[in-house]
Amino acid sequence: MSNLRKIKVKCIKVAQGSRHFYIVNLPAKVVTDISYVAVRGKDAEEGAVQRLLNPSRISGVKEFALGGGDFPNAMVLNWVSTTNNLNIADNFLSFTVEPRSAQVIDGQHRIAGIEAAIAERSELAELQLPIVFYEKLSTQQCADIFLSINTEQKPVPRSLVFDLYGVASQSQVDQAVLRARDIAMHLNESIDSPYESEIKGPSTRRRGGIALSTAVSAIKPLVEDNGIFEQVDISGLEMQKKVVLNLFCAIRSKYGDHWDDKSNVF
């Protein structure tokens, strides 16, 4: 026990309703060493509310971490160890770094992805992460918190995400989505396009038209790795724009005056 690492960090106590928690800043390696996932329906222990880990999501988080991505949202842990105490005194929180000291309530894929990134790049062990600690919550309490985070705090619309890809750092975006977005915006802005001013961005509030997320999702299979454009050796953005625009112009010409009919599936 004497060889185990001791941690002492400043903390902020927050009281909300009948519960309270502590906010701290910890090195990533400490977080991965003390936390574990208790899976609902698999692990017979109090506080088990998580689902099985998704390897593809872990891989995505790993690449995000290796690319220098930020993790501003706190991971939420439930301190459950009965032998390793979580000590709070004078606005400091201290504990011993021992495995399986805290269940993950929220952030399991981020933690697993960061752990995988650390294995590839050891300096990420010191990446500072915001952590929320609860203590010895019941399954019901963990479920309440998990549902609050994952149902009430809903993700932003995909159209906004895809629109922001146009201004975000290259390392933070899905390149196939970015290329599909560029083509969709060309369809929306070209005076020769059948979809001129018809593709709606995140701030557009009108009936009719096509959501940017719908257009991007439809175009993405053409431009992703091993997609149709790659198979026929059309890799340049300008050529891809022309091909997609010409396709829809040809379809519009077949519809003639009926292009704007509500029955037009395009």
* Confidence band, pLDDT 50/70/90 cuts, at residue 169: low
Q: Could you give the percent of the chain with pLDDT greater than 90? A: 49
Contacts of residue 42, Cβ cutoff 8 Å, sequence gap at least 6: 48, 52
Structure confidence at residue 46 (pLDDT): 64
Give the pair of three-digit tokens for residue 107: 């952030």
pLDDT at 203 > cutoff 80: no
Model confidence over 242-264: pLDDT tens digits?
999 999 999 999 998 888 887 88
- Locus of tokens 């929180």: 93
Model confidence over 224-235: pLDDT tens digits?
888 899 999 998
| Closest alpha carbon to 186 in 249, 241, 239 | 241
Structure confidence at residue 139 (pLDDT): 82
Mean pLDDT of 71-79: 93
- Locus of tokens 């880990």: 53
Structure confidence at residue 187 (pLDDT): 93
Give the chain's mean pLDDT: 86
pLDDT at 88 > cutoff 60: yes
Mean pLDDT of 184-211: 84
Mean pLDDT of 128-137: 94
- Locus of tokens 């290259």: 170
Task: Return the HEC string of the chain.
Answer: CCCCCEEEEECEEEEECCEEEEEEEEEHHHHHHHEECCECCCCCCCCCCECCCCHHHHHHHHHHHHCCCCCCCCEEEEECCCCCCCEEECCEEEEECCCCCEEEEECHHHHHHHHHHHHHCHHHHHCEEEEEEEECCCHHHHHHHHHHHHHHCCCCCHHHHHHHCCCCCHHHCCHHHHHHHHHHHHHHHCCCCCCCCCEECCCCCCCCCEEHHHHHHHHHHHHCCCCHHHHCCCCCHHHHHHHHHHHHHHHHHHHHHHCCCCCCCC
Mean pLDDT of 90-97: 94
Structure confidence at residue 1 (pLDDT): 43
Longest CA span, the chain: 82
Q: What is d(CA 221, CA 44) in angstroms, rounded to the nearest whole number? A: 42
